[in-house]
Chain A
Amino acid sequence: MNPALVAARAGLSRGWIEFRQTLTTPGDLIAILIPTGGFLAAMIWTRHTHVPGTHFSLGTTMLVSVLGLNVVVYGVVTMGDLLIVEREDGTLLRAKAIPNGMLGYLLGKIVSISAQIAFAVTITLLTGTFLFTGLAIGSPGSWLTLAWVLVLGLLATLPLGAVLGSLFPSQRSAGPWWLLLLGGLSAISGVFYPITHLPIFLQWTGQMFPPYWLGLGMRSALLPNAMAGVEVGHSWRHLATFGVLSAWVVAGLVLAPAVLRRMARRQSGSAVAASREKAMRGT
């Protein structure tokens, strides 16, 4: 049997095993539930506030946009951070020491993080349907749009996370950057407030990055059509969503293999030992 195929299958089951471990490790579960709970609290808080210029609940809009943000948080930050952690603890080196191990490792990561995203999205959505009104979840078209935005979002963010994770030298040095990146991007992404109310310069910046488009895509899937009126150009802009996210997919898939190979090449026992010593010295 083809060794790469065997490794790919091993990678898929690896992803499920890791996802199961996340669900059965209290610390990991809390790390998923706390931000999800935090977002939900913010939505409930703004449930009765209206989106400016409409009579539609800001909380409901936020709920839907947060689904898109979830993809970015897990796809970029969790992916990148895990890559750094597992580079330091030797998991990547282990993968390198077994035949086709890197292939299995990366597929495993993609599966386990996708599953985590699906989990977080499901929790948010389930809670949302009970607590919020106005969600357009009745039609098959909604779910179809949700599905393609989700898949495209994963393809756009996971390679990006892998690239960033490969570039940061250590988990300690990466921490503040993740916060800055995430905070900055979500502030101008239109997730918490319509992007049309921001200065033009920030509107343009926000529209260059995936969080805005993931949020827009989710809103187009799950909000009533009339709500397109408050978006840029009074439209859901599906074509632009597809175009911008696809551009990020291409960029990620072009960059990621080279950057990952470079990182893998630098893996060695002494590198792992050195990073451990560094972590222990606290520098």
Chain B
Amino acid sequence: MEDVLDVRDLRMRYGKTDVLNGVSFAARRGEVLALLGPNGAGKTTTIEILEGFRIRSAGEVSVLGADPARGGEAWRAKTGVVLQSWRDHAKWQVRELLTHLGRYYAPYSTASVTRPWDVDDLLETVGLTPHALKRVRNLSGGQRRRLDVAIGIVGRPEVLFLDEPTVGFDPEARRDFHEVVHRLAGREEATILLTTHDLNEAERLADRILILVGGTIIADGSADELARTMPGQSEVRWSRDGQRFVHAADDATSFVRELFRQHGESVGDLEVRRASLEDTYLALVRQAEHGLPRRLAAVAA
């Protein structure tokens, strides 16, 4: 089956500055991709090109089999967009706005997908039912963001772009949002590309993580796969004779086996901790930014 997102050697240049230097990745139907990277790495530019809001300088981009730069309205109906900052429709009531924006999607219903999403169900899904009659400008920051997400999915998109969707969410809102994403990717089989600075979120939501640094993808894989690329990935802690020890091990299992063989029963308080996505991420970014050799970067992490 054809990939829903297919990006090959994507390049973007503003004036004399290269923002993207050959970005390539692909995503299947129902896959959730998290795009990570430091500020200014080109995440928003990438997502805007895929949304069809920005014209690329070079490279091949296909979203749902079409070039976003020439998407057309039927293509647009199958995409959902949540941008970083919205302040629009301040005077509208929440329910009124969702009902209105949903209307445009009705002609794009198919035998299997009824568009738009039922407004009551949608309000319930994003947790805005108690605020349905509020004017948008009277919503709190987190509620406003929930509404942005609701508008992004009101057309039941086949592909959804989320640019830092959970900024300003409290832990509960964040968990609700994660459930929405799981539901979309699972039951609705939507392909989702999201950017975030929250690495726990990326680990929890994404099937695959892409790390973008300096306009290139430096890592592409699941959180586990990324961790495995890093040597010294696990941290082993133990105590012996009242003294505490810490060791970074490439192969934690054999290290622990050796530990017990040598010291047997005197080993206590054993803890083996896998490198977190954060450790891996920081190491990979540092390595890409400073060109440090891999092993050194890992130790520094």
Contact = CB atoms under 8 A, between A and B. Distances in A.
A99 B105 contact: yes
Contact of A276 (B54, B81, B87, B96): B87
A237 interface: no
B108 A3 contact: yes
Which residue of A94, A97, A272, A276 has the most chain B CB atoms within 10 A of its CB atom? A97
B51 interface: yes
Given A3-B108, A25-B91, A270-B44, A99 B74 contact: yes
Question: Which range holds the interface residue count of chain A?
Answer: 20 to 34
B107 A270 contact: no
B83 interface: yes
A109 interface: no
B77 interface: yes
A42 interface: no
Nearest to B49: A268
Given A98-B76, A99-B105, A268-B54, A90 B92 contact: no
A272 B83 contact: yes
Nearest to A104: B104
B100 A13 contact: yes
A269 interface: yes
Contact of B107 (A6, A93, A98, A268): A6
A13 B207 CA distance: 42
Interface of A is mostly: helix
Interface string A239-283: 000000000000000000000000000011110110010000000
Contact of A97 (B76, B100, B106, B107): B76
A200 interface: no
Contacts of B83: 90, 93, 269, 272
A47 interface: no
A26 to B, nearest CB: 12
A100 interface: yes
Nearest to B51: A97
B172 interface: no
Interface string A3-26: 100110110011001100100010
B86 to A, nearest CB: 5
Given A97-B81, A99-B73, A268-B48, A6 B88 contact: no
Contact of A89 (B48, B76, B90, B151): B90
B84 A268 contact: no
Given A6-B107, A98-B155, A89 B100 contact: no
A229 B109 CA distance: 63
A146 B278 CA distance: 70
B85 interface: yes
Given A96-B53, A99-B104, A101-B104, A90 B88 contact: yes
B163 interface: yes
A21 B100 contact: no
A99 B77 contact: yes
Interface string A93-128: 110111111001000000000000000000000000
Contact of B92 (A3, A21, A97, A104): A21
B88 A89 contact: yes
A91 B83 CA distance: 12
Interface of B: 44-45, 48, 51, 53-54, 73-74, 76-77, 79, 81, 83-92, 96, 100-101, 103-108, 151, 155, 163
**For the complex of A and B, 7 pairs with smallest distance between CB atoms:** A269-B83, A91-B88, A99-B77, A3-B107, A268-B53, A90-B88, A99-B73
15 contacts: A1-B106, A2-B107, A21-B91, A86-B88, A90-B88, A98-B101, A99-B104, A99-B155, A104-B104, A270-B44, A270-B45, A270-B54, A272-B83, A272-B85, A272-B86
